[in-house]
Amino acid sequence: MAATDLRGRDFITLMDFDREEIETILDTAFDLKRKWIRGEPHKVLEDKTLFMLFYNRSLRTRNSFEAGMTQLGGHAHFLEPDAVYTPALPGEEQAYATERIADVARVLAEMGHGIAIRIYGKPTGWIYGKGRLNILEFAKWSRVPVINMEDDVDHPCQGLADIMTILEKLGHHLQGKKFVMSWAYSGSVEKPLAVPHGAMMAAAFFGMDITLAHPKGLDLDPQILQFAQKTTKRYGGDFRIVHDMDAAFKDAVVVYPKSWTCQATDGKTPMDPQKSKAIFEANKHWLTTKQKMELTDGALYMHCLPADRGMEVTDEVIDGPHSVIVEQAANRLHAQKGLMALIMG
């Protein structure tokens, strides 16, 4: 029996949950994964429907949710809204070109059992937090659970898959083990902050020693950093920020080098492509190589994908023996099944 009843809960950010609730989701995910491996039916959401609204393209997220709902006995509807979201007065945000979120959310809630949304970057004009406002507006009007499939603030489903993979590989005693969330170079500056935020928050719940590494000028959201620092210390870990990739990698047991853009988190200022490009091009040496991996304590190499090969990471590393990128991607399916089984059951 689950330790915590999560039925009907929205899943918008990991900050809305405590460690016991995260562990309950993960316990369910591990159980359903074992059933899937053994070929045992687990149709706990039989005849239930999830509506998925994608304002951004997707490979892993769309397919993991669709496959997950099928395996749980339900069905996922893929919706690709025509509207490009622009800031509006409260209550005027649009889900489709001619329909407000209030109307779309209420109608879909009458037809199904959950609404999942992905929105960040271009559809929001690269203004940090606008995607989150969109999802919160859906949650305000929907009477069924709303799931964040990634916004500009957090990617909580990826965070669940990340920590699930770490637990599988390193065991359930993660307190004090060094987890590195590092920036890495990319030729594209259109990289949201959500993945590093979610990965650090997930690691914090298990008391890992978190090192955040990035060049100066690529700061993350202060509120997220405060949460990660407070949470990891509560569970016996530590948190620090460095501006040297080699120093960060030293003695790490998990490294997660991932590009993100230079972006103000005030909710008003759009991302400046020229400023971001200048910082990116000045830091091409932030590349994950075999030599950098040798600085670690045999660390796992993680990436949410898609990775920019030859920029963020060399083929030798991402295809090497320490890479767990495929397991990470696979665990998107299982972590999300655990989540959906609990909140939509």
User: How far apart are the C-alpha atoms of 273 and 262, rounded to whole Å?
Assistant: 8
State residue 297's pLDDT score: 98
Specify the CATH number of the domain 14-154+332-343.
3.40.50.1370
Specify the CATH architecture of the domain 156-328: 3-Layer(aba) Sandwich (3.40)
Look at the chain and count its residues: 345
State residue 95's pLDDT score: 67
What is the SS3 assignment for 150?
A: strand
User: How far apart are the C-alpha atoms of 207 and 229, rounded to whole Å?
Assistant: 10
Global confidence as pTM: 0.95
Is it true that 14-154+332-343 and 156-328 share their CATH fold? Answer: yes
* Strand partners of residue 239: 210
State residue 332's pLDDT score: 98
What is the SS3 assignment for 16?
A: helix
HEC per residue, 244-269: CHHHHHCCCCEEEECCCCCCCCCCCC
Q: Read off the pLDDT of residues 120-158 as tens digits, 9 standing for 90 and up.
A: 999 899 999 999 999 999 999 999 999 999 999 999 999
What is the SS3 assignment for 279?
A: helix
Q: Read off the pLDDT of residues 218-266 as tens digits, 9 standing for 90 and up.
A: 999 999 999 999 999 999 999 999 999 999 999 999 999 999 999 999 9
CA 33 to chain centroid, in Å, comes to: 20
Q: Where are the domains of the chain?
A: 14-154+332-343, 156-328
Q: Which residues of the chain have pLDDT under 70?
A: 1-3, 82-98
